[in-house]
Amino acid sequence: MKKGELFQDIEITDLSAKGKGVARIKKAVAFVENAIPGDLVDLQIIKQRKGYFDAKLVKMHQESDKRQKAVCSHFGICGGCRIQNMKYKNQLKFKEQQVLNSLTRIGGLESPEILPILGSETTEYYRNKLEFSFSTSRWLSQEEIASGKQIENRQAVGFHVAGRYDKLVDIEHCYLQDKPSNDVRNFIRQYARNNKLSFFNPYHMKGMLRALFIRTSTSNEVMINMVFGENINDQAIDLLAALKTEFPEISSIYYLVNTKKNDSIYDLKPVLFSGNAYITEHMEHIQIKLGPKSFYQTNSIQALELYKTVRQFGELNPDEIVYDLYSGVGSIGLYLAKDVKKIIGIETVEEAVHDAEENRRINNINNITFYSGQVEKLLSMDFANENGDPDILIIDPPRPGVHKTVIQSILEIKPKKIIYISCNPATQARDIELLTSSYQFIKSQPVDMFPHTLHIENVSLLELK
């Protein structure tokens, strides 16, 4: 096979972890953008890579029966919702298969028990938090370019084009977050244009409007955090005031100024412009107060399914000690506290630990202690001696998984059970493989937190041999 070569009537047999259709031609593998399993296509090789090829779809002969029409008009360009063109039941099968592939190929497990994935009842408007960016570098459609006309308006507020940090899709309607998310974003865009507020220029790193965080909650509270790329002035204050008047349902408006090169707001201090300092989420018997920088699972309804799975896997009893590692705002520990003797949480973000403490206080829970710091630095035999040996270890790390020294500490401390929650089945499988010298893999429960996207959440149970 070589670049430019055409292949006809090829069936797409699989979907890669990155969402491309997989075609097997002769003995080679080609990844095809915008193709899904079951499509019958003509394709052209566009690039040779190490051990595989990239190809483009040049003609569709027969569409797969797994296809559906993507509901979003931005589908295909926007970096979110990459598999919205696949029926939901097939999305779920794909995710189950990804978990199986990781556990067998990376984790080295022979035939791991994987419970049927817990699908989401709502596949649209399921996120409680979105971050939109502003830019002077709008993604132009093929028609706009082909028209040859002078393009006056290049401002955009929305999401990045897949793989392009500098280009933004100007979002008109996003199906990920409930009201008033779309109205708020569109109002700010229109207000900014009418009042000549500048949009952020990603090349010159200048411009007043830089990012917009919108948080909604199951208790119908709404928190806005407006990020300005330049020092705040009267125009910016007027925008916040207009937002407050236009949307009385907004319960908190924050702003912050970010003039740094990077977009991270975690080292910056949000200022409360109006309303309450927190919004509140409810999870069965507990309430969770969230500030503008607090981490919280972004699909509140599925988060409860995830935590219920943890509770079932734990089969907790009142004399047990549980460690909740990578505890965020403490929500898992708070949820389980009434069923066990004691919970110890470890979390690196100080503000999150502060929120966790506050949540412990408002829920009147007295058997949890939260530590602020990195798990790899804090977890040790000495730590376990001081805080009590854990019967159950819950780990919920970010995508890169668990640090090697954490695996060593776990192998020394030897809790009876490990419940490993992961948003990246590949790193989870790698870590499970490292633990299998002392632990037996029992089962996994995938949970779909993010319909229409390639993201997969998986809970695995391990028991000490």
Question: DSSP letter at 197?
Answer: P
Q: Which is nearer to ligand SAM, 139 or 326 (CB)?
A: 326
Q: Which is nearer to ligand SAM, 391 or 457 (CB)?
A: 457
Q: Which is nearer to ligand SAM, 120 or 136 (CB)?
A: 120
Residues 6+ apart with CB under 8 A from 58: 6, 41, 42, 43, 44
The C-alpha angle with vertex 358 and arms to 395 and 215, in degrees rounded to 5, equals 75
Min CB(352)–ligand SAM separation in Å: 5
H or E stretch at 191: helix 181-195
Question: DSSP letter at 103?
Answer: I
Q: Closest-CB residue for ligand SAM?
A: 328
Min CB(60)–ligand SAM separation in Å: 38
Min CB(457)–ligand SAM separation in Å: 9
The strand pair at 342-347 and 279-283 is best described as unpaired
Active-site residue 81, yes or no?
Answer: no
Altogether, the residues listed in the chain come to a count of 465
d(CA 357, CA 109): 39
Min CB(51)–ligand SAM separation in Å: 32
Min CB(385)–ligand SAM separation in Å: 20
Of the candidates 320, 289, 124, 308, the residue with the CA atom closest to the CA atom of residue 217: 289
Q: Which is nearer to ligand SAM, 86 or 306 (CB)?
A: 306
Q: Which is nearer to ligand SAM, 155 or 331 (CB)?
A: 331
Residues 6+ apart with CB under 8 A from 446: 95, 96, 99, 114, 115, 117, 118, 456, 457, 458, 459
Q: 129-162 burial string, b = 16+ CB within 10 Å, else e?
A: bbebbbbbbbbeeeeeeeeeeeeeeebbbbbbbb
Of the candidates 80, 86, 72, the residue with the CA atom closest to the CA atom of residue 36: 86
Q: Which residues bind ligand SAM (CB under 6 A)?
A: 295-297, 326-328, 331-332, 346-349, 352, 374-376, 396-398
d(CA 160, CA 75): 12
Catalytic option among 72, 81, 174, 423: 423
Q: Which is nearer to ligand SAM, 374 or 408 (CB)?
A: 374
Min CB(173)–ligand SAM separation in Å: 28
Q: Show which residues are catalytic.
A: 423
